Amino acid sequence: MHCDYCGSDNTRLVYRGMSHKVDTTFGPFDLFRCNHCGSLGTANPPSELRLSEFYQHYEQFRPLWYKEGARSGALDAQYVFYTDFIERHLVGRSWLDVGAGHAEVANKLARTRPNGSAADIGPRPGGLDRTVEYSSVDMNRNGWSESIGREFDTVFSVAVWEHVLTPSSFAHECLSLVANKGRLILICPDYGSFARKVLGRSWPYFEPGEHITVPTRTGADLCLQRQAQMKGIDVDVRVQRLNVGYSVRYLLEVLRLRAVARMLPPTLSAPLPTGMLAAVVTRK
């Protein structure tokens, strides 16, 4: 069991035989924690084939509270928050959204920031803004950044790092796409967060099989520093806690307080310490 974030082999098993919370046939997985940086890893990660099967039917494996949140528009509060954060940290003109999903962030950003591109597995999302260029890439394959074939002033990725099989390769490929003086922004759950410590297995981002690794702020920092060093580029890495603007109703539903949740309008949002991090890497 090797921590792919900091490179340490000093790890210990913390959960055995865990299945995915919704698709209970997905598993069992044994999860380990790194004694050096505290990040979480999967001792027996799914094969690429099993993973692509899982994502083919992904929508049906979303938890009910997620589906209800999406239907009522409550999830939009988060995407507005992420878009604002990225816009505040954007440098230069060109940008790339890696793992754009249904283009929730790319479409919002495209309204004020032209020169956008997006990349993800599969064909171009139907709803993607017409002005945004699109590349189809498999982020679990080495060398996927080469098929995009150019550099960008800002490269960002929201809630993707924890899904890939090899987070160090993902960081390496993302850094390959950042132009000189450009910036990489990675947003993902933080395994060292207070929310994770309090909620344990009930933490919404504890998703065996789906969230294959989850870094701590130290793990994210060490991983990005190491990959930049391997590439021979000078970088400034800043990893921070992120209090995401969540719909209050959505959060109460996640915590299974549905009766209280239903009394609130879905659009009411508040920044909450649910345990996310943002790594902002600037090329010097």
Give me the helices (H) in the chain, please. Answer: 48-56, 64-71, 76-89, 104-112, 167-176, 194-199, 217-231, 248-254, 258-261
Beta carbon of residue 167, minimum distance to Zn ion (angstroms, whole number): 11
- Helix, strand and coil in the chain, % to nearest 5: 35, 25, 40
When the beta carbons of 216 and 274 are compared against Zn ion, the nearer one is 216
Note whether 2 binds Zn ion by CB under 5 A. Answer: no
Cβ proximity of 95 and 156 under 8 Å: yes
- Candidates 36-44, 57-65, 72-80, 265-273: pick the segment binding Zn ion (CB under 5 A): 36-44
When the beta carbons of 135 and 169 are compared against Zn ion, the nearer one is 169
210's tokens: 């789906």
What is the separation of C-alpha 55 from the centre of its chain, rounded to a whole number of angstroms?
A: 15
- Candidates 2-10, 20-28, 134-142, 182-190: pick the segment binding Zn ion (CB under 5 A): 2-10
- Looking at residue 260, its amino acid is V
- Residues in contact with Zn ion, counted by CB under 5 A, come to a total of 8
Rounded distance between C-alpha atoms, residue 53 and residue 181, angstroms:
39
- Candidates 32-40, 76-84, 101-109, 271-279: pick the segment binding Zn ion (CB under 5 A): 32-40
Beta carbon of residue 145, minimum distance to Zn ion (angstroms, whole number): 24
Note whether 31 binds Zn ion by CB under 5 A. Answer: no
177's tokens: 């796409």
Beta carbon of residue 153, minimum distance to Zn ion (angstroms, whole number): 30
Rounded distance between C-alpha atoms, residue 103 and residue 191, angstroms:
26
When the beta carbons of 135 and 227 are compared against Zn ion, the nearer one is 227
Contacts with 181 (C-beta within 8 Å, 6 or more apart), sequence order: 91, 92, 153, 282, 283, 284
Note whether 6 binds Zn ion by CB under 5 A. Answer: yes
- Candidates 26-34, 99-107, 148-156, 187-195: pick the segment binding Zn ion (CB under 5 A): 26-34
Note whether 8 binds Zn ion by CB under 5 A. Answer: yes
Among 18, 20, 26, 34, binds Zn ion (CB under 5 A): 34
- Candidates 37-45, 161-169, 186-194, 247-255: pick the segment binding Zn ion (CB under 5 A): 37-45
Among 15, 29, 30, 37, binds Zn ion (CB under 5 A): 37
Q: Which has the closest alpha carbon to 148: 165, 161, 134? A: 134
If phi > 0 it is left, if psi is from -120 to 50 it is alpha, else beta; for residue 94 that is beta
Note whether 223 binds Zn ion by CB under 5 A. Answer: no
Rounded distance between C-alpha atoms, residue 1 and residue 22, angstroms:
26
When the beta carbons of 36 and 102 are compared against Zn ion, the nearer one is 36
When the beta carbons of 141 and 197 are compared against Zn ion, the nearer one is 197
Among 23, 28, 36, 179, binds Zn ion (CB under 5 A): 36
Mapping DSSP to helix (H, G, I), strand (E, B) and coil, where does residue 161 land? helix
- Site residues for Zn ion per CB under 5 A: 3, 5-6, 8, 34, 36-37, 39
